[in-house]
Structure formats: structure tokens, C-alpha cells
Amino acid sequence: MYLQLIALQSIVRREIVRFLRIWVQTLLPPVITQTLYFVIFGTFIGSQLREINGVSYMAFIVPGLVMMAVINSSFSNVVSSFFGSKFQRNLEEMLVAPVKPWVMIWGFISGGILRGLLVGLLVFFISFFFTWPSIHNFGIILLFIVLTAVLFSMGGMVNGIFAKKFDDVQIFPTFVLIPLTYFGGVFYSIKDLPEFWQTVSQFNPVLYMVDGFRYGFYGFSDVNIWFSIFILIAFTLIVGIINAYLIRKGIGLKS
Amino acid sequence: MNMEAIKIENLKKIYKGGTHALKGIDLQVGTGDFFALLGANGAGKTTIIGILTGTVNKTGGKAFIHGMDIDKVHDTIKRDVGIVPQEFNFNIFEKVEDIVVTQAGFYGLKRHEALKRAEKILKDLNLWDKRHQKSMSLSGGMKRRLMIARALIHEPKLLILDEPTAGVDVELRHGMWEYLTELNKSGVTILLTTHYIEEAEQLCRNVAIIKEGEIVKTGSVKELLTTIDKQTYVVEVDQIASHVKLDDFKWSVLDDRTVEVEVDQKKTLNNFITCLDKEGILVRDLRPKGNRLEKLFLNILNS
């Protein structure tokens, strides 16, 4: 067990060094993108919109934009790092060592979580230039942001395991993740949608993450907060089990 | 108890697509041995190594390292094994010292202990000055040495080297041979695959030749060399006269001062030299043509 903890520490350290070394690629772009959202959607367009549940449009989109940055950063960190290790074959460094599958999973995932949280924090600090979000329940905020980072880091791991070429690393984020995030209530309340689209939106798991996270700030939500927590935990567990199975079987790792 | 470092029984591997890479291999490598596994490209050498080190799943058979079954206690076994793969497989963006120290962490070594060991190994392998450089900036030879340093950081009892000197210049290759010989003398069992047959003959005590997924010859290097029934020598002489007759030998003239002669095991070189002497021809130099083990290897591959 002690050996495994040191191995975990080594992987996490390497992951942190990696994303900090290439901070221009890993930390800066999401901060710039979200700043543009604050300026364009929050300031230019938001100033012409009504308040939502008593908060300004700018304040309304802050949690969603933070969550969007966390989702993308966590996912892309793990998928790129894991696929990169596979592509360069330095993943074999771990496979030939007595590193347990769960240590490998949590090593890479921890990197994704930490980068996601760091980017989320940076975006949150940027939001102070535009508005001053209130905090309704810090525990809920923490629960949602951490579990979302865990979930999407693990998602990135699954993508990384199955990716065989660099194109495969981009397919899921481009065609699935980004649409789900945009339609996940980042920029609007689903209660403002026609009933049909409200129903459709409820099949989007990202909605529950954004909505629950926003609840932590302002105390209102479009979906029952307990249901959101349930969905988040359920998805995290499912993707976690998939990860453990894939690594244990060596799928995508061993020939 | 002096058990085998490696024991393989009926090992089979069928890759997706149906390639039979290993067709039921049996192999034993004694503890403390310096063992060569020779074979052409695609013969199955790297597959055996992959199975032993846990990067390839076997299809059938058994493999034991230091008496332990890889199916049961592979994690325990891995602590005793160091591997130098055929291809460079470290992160090219990482620094030399980080690569070695991180690898130590995978074996449970605390960072301060790993740093100490890394210093010693990197100094031994003349990489200490490069420790803060990114691995991508190293020369081919340095990258090879880095792979060896990484494989040794946890002080394994068994070191597996998959063509470690491929693409390394002659001087460096000899330096690596010396290092590996010393390592073997210190008690580390070494399993080596190589394309340089001369390397195997020089370094190894025992050898196995693998062909198309099957072990076709195994034994001590000396023993195998005695199975060669003919040996060709290149002989430099002071003159070649057309009237010379050496009917007992198969020989040919390469140029006016060089002949090539095939000597079978029943005869000795003394016979040949005596024949030349009778003809008044002086021998100025004599050397084997090519490497003996290489000849045996080629004979087996072509059979």
C-alpha cells in the first residue's frame, strides 16, 4: 500500500509538472476564452437582458462559465496526457512497474482534477472584474466542482484508453462535450425554454452539474438539487467502474 | 535454493489478426546468467519480453521469474525486474533526472532516496552533466544509457535488455558491454536480445535461438560453437603460386596475397599451415571469416 502511495505521488507530481510546464497551452486558453464570454455575453449582451431569479445575467452565467472551463480542462488534460503517454509508449514505465491499476487511474485523474480546479479558480477570479457572485452554500459549490472535475477527468481517461490516433482525442470533446455544455444551461435557465426542449434538456447530464453548481452560489435551481447530486454521483461511479475495468483488463494498453 | 531467474513453459501468444508469435516456448535462464536470446526480426523475442514484463498478455503457457508465477504475483515479480525496451519510450519533454526519479517512485522509492540513487547511476553512465536537460536533446547513445539508468534505479535482480546497443557507435557499445559485464558480475541476471551476434558471443554464457516463434537451439555459447562443423578463415600469405595444390581443403584465392579456406572439424589449422609450409608459402596473418556464432545463427535460420 505504501509503495502504491509513493507511485501515486510520482504520477501526480509528473502530471502537475506537465500542465504547469505548458501553461500557455493548458491554463491560459480557457481563461482567455471565458473572459471573452464575460465581455461579450455578460457585458455587451447581458446588459440588455432582464435579471434571472433576481440575479444579473452576468452573475447568472458565472457558475456556468466556471463549470464549462472545469469540464473542458479536466477532460482534455487526462485525454491528452494519457494518450500522449500511450503514443510515446512511456506508459510502459508504469506497466512494467508494480503500479496497481487504481494508482494509474488516480494518478492521471488527479492531474485532470487539479488542472480543472485551477482553471476554474482562475476563471472565477476573472469574474470579479465583471461582477461579484454571492455564495449561498460553499459545500454544494465544492461538491459539484470537485465531482465534476473527477467525472470528466475519468471521461478523458476512457477517451484516452480507446484513442488510437490524435484525431480520436478531439472527436468526443468536439462533437459531444462542447454541444452538451452549451446546451447544459450555461447561458440560460431551462425554464425559459419551450416545454419540449425543457424535457430534452433533462437528458443532458451537464445540465445537472451546471444547475447544481449555480445553486451553490445563488440558492435557486431549475432541477431539484438532490436529484442533481444523485445524477452527478451516479455518473461518477459508472465512469469510475468503466475506468477500473478497462485498466484492469489492460484494454488499449497491452497487446 | 538456486532457482532459475526465468522459467518459461509452453508459452504461446496469438495476436489479434491470428499471428502466432510464440508457438509453445520452453526456456530457462539461470540466476546470475548472462543469457542471449537471438532471432531474426519478428521471431518472437520482444513478445517474450513483453509477456515477462507485463506489457503483453500471453495466450497460453506459464512463465516464472525467480520461481514466482507471473499470473499470480506479477506485482511482486516486477520489483525484481528492470527492462530496457527496444524503442525509446520515455517522455521526450521530461528532464533526464525526472525520468529516472519518477521511475523510482513507481517502485515505491521515496524521492530523497531516489535522488541519491539517480545521482550514482547517472554518474556511472556519464549522464550526470545532462540531468537537467530534456531527454529529447540527448544523442542516441545517451538516450540508450538513460534507458539503462531508468531500468536500474530500483536495483533489479534481473535485467532484460531488448537490443540495447542498436544504433550505438562502436566506442559506446564497448563501454556499455563493460558496464553490463560488471553488472552481471555483481550478481544481476541479464537477458539480452541483440542483432549483434558478436555482442552475444562476447558477453553471454548461454544462448537460445528463436525462429518463427519456436526455440530451435539452446545451450551454452561454447557448446553451440562446437556444433559448427566448418569454419572459414581468411589467410594472408606472402605469395600465391599457381602450382600450389591443397587438395585436402576447400579454398579459394581472393587476391594475389589472400586466400580463403574452409576447415572442417576433423582437420585442424595446423594441417592447413603445414600444407602451405610444404609449398614454401609463409602465413602472415590468419583470421576467422565472420563471427562463429553468427555463422551458426545463419545456418539455423537458413535451415
**Partner B contacted by A251 (CB < 8 A):** no
Q: Look up the domain containing B48 and give its range.
A: 1-80+186-227
The arithmetic mean of pLDDT across residues B280-300, rounded, is 78
Render B28-65 in DSSP notation, one character per residue.
EEETT-EEEEEE-TTSSHHHHHHHHHTSS--SEEEEEE
Cα(B57)–Cα(A47) distance, integer angstroms = 61
Residues in chain B whose Cβ is within 8 Å of chain A:
15-16, 50, 53-57, 74-76, 78-79, 81, 83, 85, 87, 89-94, 98, 102-110, 150, 154
Tell whether B41 is covered by a domain: yes
Is the residue at B69 inside a domain?
A: yes
What residue of A is the nearest CA neighbor of B98? Answer: A14
Distance CA A201, CA B132 (A): 52
Confidence tier at A219 by pLDDT (50, 70, 90): very high
Q: Are residues B292 and B220 in the same domain?
A: no
**Which triple of cell numbers denotes residue A49?**
437582458
Which band of pLDDT confidence, cut at 50, 70 and 90, is reported for residue A42? confident
Most confident segment among A29-38, B85-94, B236-245:
A29-38
Q: Per residue in B195-228, pLDDT tens?
A: 777 788 888 999 998 988 999 888 888 777 777 6
How distant is the Cα of B153 from the closest Cα of chain A, in angstroms?
12
pLDDT of residue A255: 67
Out of A10, A93, A98, closest to residue B75 by CB? A98
What's the pLDDT score for residue A98?
92
CB contact under 8 A, B50 and A255: yes
* Threshold 0.90, pTM exceeds: no
Residue B109 is nearest to which of A6, A18, A95, comparing CB atoms?
A6
What average pLDDT does the segment B282-292 reach?
Answer: 79
pLDDT tops 60 at residue B2: no
pLDDT tens, A130-182?
A: 998 889 999 999 999 999 999 999 999 999 999 988 888 888 888 999 999 99
Q: Label each residue of chain A as H, E or C.
A: CHHHHHHHHHHHHHHHHHHHHCHHHHCHHHHHHHHHHHHHHHHHHHHHCCCECCECHHHHHHHHHHHHHHHHHHHHHHHHHHHHHHHHCCCHHHHCCCCCHHHHHHHHHHHHHHHHHHHHHHHHHHHCCCCCCCCCCHHHHHHHHHHHHHHHHHHHHHHHHHCCCHHHHHHHHHHHHHHHHHCCCCCCCHHHCCHHHHHHHCCCHHHHHHHHHHHHHHCCCCCCHHHHHHHHHHHHHHHHHHHHHHHHHCCCCCC
- The pLDDT tens digits of the residues spanning A68-88 come to 999 999 999 999 999 999 888
pLDDT at B1: 43
Are B193 and B38 spatial neighbours (Cβ–Cβ below 8 Å)?
A: yes
B237 in any annotated domain? yes
Choosing from B227, B248, B277, the residue where a domain stops is B227
What is the total count of domains within chain B?
2
Q: Is B87 domain-assigned? A: no
Q: Where are the alpha helices (DSSP H) in chain B?
A: 45-53, 74-78, 96-106, 111-124, 140-152, 170-185, 197-203, 221-225, 269-278, 292-302
Query: Do B99 and B148 form a contact (C-beta atoms < 8 A)?
Result: no
Q: Is B95 a domain residue?
A: no
Q: Do B108 and A3 touch (CB under 8 A)?
A: yes
Indicate whether B290 pLDDT > 70. no
The residue-averaged pLDDT of A188-210 equals: 92
In a domain, B270, yes or no: yes
Give the pLDDT confidence score for residue B41 in this predicted structure: 85
Average pLDDT over residues A26-51: 90
DSSP code at position B134: B
Which of B65, B95, B106, B160 to mutate to probe the A interface, most A CBs <10 Å? B106
Together in a domain, B294 and B241: yes
Residues B18, B72 within the same domain: yes
Kindly state the cell numbers that stand for B272.
592447413
Residue A89 and residue B93: Cβ atoms within 8 Å?
no
B220 and B248 housed in the same domain: no
pLDDT at residue B3 above 90?
no
Report yes or no on B168 lying in a domain.
Answer: no
Examine the fold and report which residue of B202, B227, B252 is the final residue of a domain before the chain moves on: B227
Predicted pLDDT at B243: 66
Question: Does residue B65 share a domain with residue B7?
Answer: yes
**Residue contact A254–B92, C-beta within 8 A:** no
Asked if this assembly's ipTM is beyond 0.90, the reply is no
Kindly report the number of other CB atoms within 10 A of residue B132's CB atom.
Answer: 9
Q: What is the DSSP string of B70-93?
A: TTT-HHHHHTTEEEE-SS--S-TT
Is residue B272 a part of any domain in this protein? yes
CATH number at residue B278: 3.30.70.1560
Which of B170, B194, B227 lies at the terminal end of a domain, its last residue?
Answer: B227
CB atoms within 10 A of CB A79: 28
Residues B15 and B58 in one domain: yes
Alpha-carbon span A94 to B259, nearest angstrom: 55
The residue of chain B nearest to residue A87, with distances taken between CA atoms, is: B89
What's the gap in Å between the CA of A113 and the closest CA on chain B?
20
In a shared domain, residues B209 and B253: no
